[in-house]
Amino acid sequence: MELKQVLTIAGSDSGGGAGIQADIKTFQELSVFGTSVITAVTAQNTLGVTDVAPVPLNNIQKQLEAIGEDFEIAALKTGMLFDAETIELVAKYIKHYNWQNLIVDPVMIAKGGASLLKEEASEALIMDLLPLAAVVTPNIPEAEALSNIRIHDEESRMEAAKAILSTGVRGILIKGGHGKESDFAEDFYLDRHGRMLILRAPRKKTNQTHGTGCTFSAALAAEFAKGKSIEEAFFIAKQFVHAAITNPLNIGAGHGPTNHAAYRSNSSKESIQYVQ
Ligand SMILES: Nc1ncnc2c1ncn2[C@@H]1O[C@H](COP(=O)(O)OP(=O)(O)O)[C@@H](O)[C@H]1O
Ligand SMILES: Cc1ncc(COP(=O)(O)OP(=O)(O)O)c(N)n1
């Protein structure tokens, strides 16, 4: 069997629940070969982030070249990119190697409140990276920051999605994990041709959701690498993250990691459905 090669460009989470570690676990579980470019090293556990050390730009460049010169990257995702210089460098190399099927997870702030992207770097994300992406996957606060629109109902979510599409990205997927007042974790996709998809799963009452966004975008990249359509990839990514949330590991005293191995044997697939 030909194993598709997939790349994550993101930060390291020493706690293993988010970042590069979550991405590689997800790739492995979904039967693609994971490679990585590490942009920053965080000291982090389920209680929060205590330090962030950006990787020097020349080393990030060497990592990108090491991947680009030897691997056939079928899809890639970006996560924590930390600053504008890193974003510009990453965008330059994505163009240089003509890497397709780019998922941008616009990681800005960790659930514990730590900043994972410098404020002034949002501009570079919008100008340099989003025009290269097949899909950008903000959570609700990130979609609000990228669009300058507060999301409080379906209408404002649509408005924010359209504003983000105007940056040149081909598809926008607003994740609903932060919509805590709803009984559903509802994720919304819109593309530049007006195609809309809405996927719903029951919202779980749990604090074991550390790294859900990283896991979700890594699953999307894995399925894109296998040639799946957005409709199929979105569904599998949602099933994967839902199984990971629904079968917790109870690790750590704070926001615990999800269970990346749960999808293999999960029984909750039927509770997820397209409502649009
Ligand atoms: N409590 C929950 N119950 C069910 N699904 C959830 C829950 N929290 C997040 N999700 C799902 O996890 C994925 C990641 O969403 P989200 O938590 O919003 O991203 P992020 O980690 O970037 O903040 C989405 O598919 C979302 O619907
Ligand atoms: C190194 C690193 N990258 C990304 C995140 C944020 O991950 P996310 O999936 O958005 O999950 P939470 O932080 O919201 O739990 C991170 N914490 N660390």
What's the pLDDT band for 269 if we cut at 50, 70, 90? low
What's the pLDDT band for 209 if we cut at 50, 70, 90? very high
> 213 to each of 67, 105, 127, 238, how far by Cα in Å?
24, 7, 22, 10
Among 8, 111, 220, say which to mutate for ligand 2: greatest number of ligand atoms within 8 Å of CB: 111
Could you give the 3-state DSSP secondary structure of residue 3? coil
Domain residue limits, the chain: 5-274
The Å distance, Cα 92 to ligand 1 centre, comes to 30
Q: What is the pLDDT of residue 84?
A: 97
- Whether the full predicted model's pTM is greater than 0.80, yes or no, is yes
Homologous superfamily (CATH) of 5-274 is Ribokinase (3.40.1190.20)
Q: What is the pLDDT of residue 265?
A: 84
- In tens, the pLDDT along 37-47 reads 999 999 999 99
Torsion of CA 167, 236, 230, 153, to 10 degrees: -50
> Looking at ligand 2, which residue's alpha carbon is closest to its atom 2?
19
Pair of tokens at residue 96: 């240089």
- Among 55, 47, 66, smallest CA distance to 257 is for 47
**Residue 267 reports pLDDT greater than 80:** no
Q: Provide the 10 A C-beta neighbour count for residue 40.
A: 22
